[in-house]
Structure 1
């Protein structure tokens, strides 16, 4: 387990806590712990072995235990539990520009929206306009964001497709009928 992996999981926990409507201070504690670990020059594995994580500002007893579990086992039960408690569509909705964890949680609480498809349908029915913190402009921006996500989901990075493209080109070049 690398420091970068630990930081990534702490940041994801912060987002998952916001998505679940947890106390904002709890979410912020995980964000701060991740930020402080980024600044750390020492090896996180050594710090865990030497029980020195508490020296890092922003890492209290609870987060210390979670980092220790993560480094020692490669897994974190708390993280897995949090992930399973959030509808999977909520993580996908985070890709929509201008739609953060708090708004996604509000949509879930007030309209029961669990997926991007349900969100798009609610926008087309103008159900977001009446919600506190939303309006016509926000609804239109969300619809535009959904379209962008759909567009980008169909595109692939060059590095992802280069090998397949070369194989296809090679087979076409070797085929006498083409």
Structure 2
């Protein structure tokens, strides 16, 4: 049996939140259509009203400490692999599933280093007028397997960059890029980051 990994919460000690197999690891994963997702099912009921959306953002590092960015199909902007939780899903499974769907990578382990929830920077309006306020778990991933490839249609390109400045300011999702600085702060101080 193949295991996809562990998600760790960082406090005084590393504590596993979840371990075990994931459908995506055994090749049984199906990419969910937006209409079938939890948020997709809520939209007809609430229209474009702002929804608070629990989710995550992943800083996925390669062996040179460059991190993975993806060019979003809907806006053309560069951001981090990210996603939202489905009804009945754990945070650990959400991170593993969404990373696999968006990048083709299987996470072996990750470290939770912060949460982004500041309404001023975490409220987003999509091109179709739908509004969300993110409540995002921030995960750093150094241990993964696979080759980055855009699978689910949310990304049109994936690449590793060594520095945030490699992406022009007008071409990136700023609230997602703040997570890079938060991770650097976490590494320097060991303090859980709240954005």
What interval of TM-score do these two structures reach, taking the shorter chain for normalisation? Answer: under 0.3
| Higher helix fraction (1 or 2) | 1
- Taking structure 1 as the reference length, the TM-score comes to 0.28
Larger Rg: 1
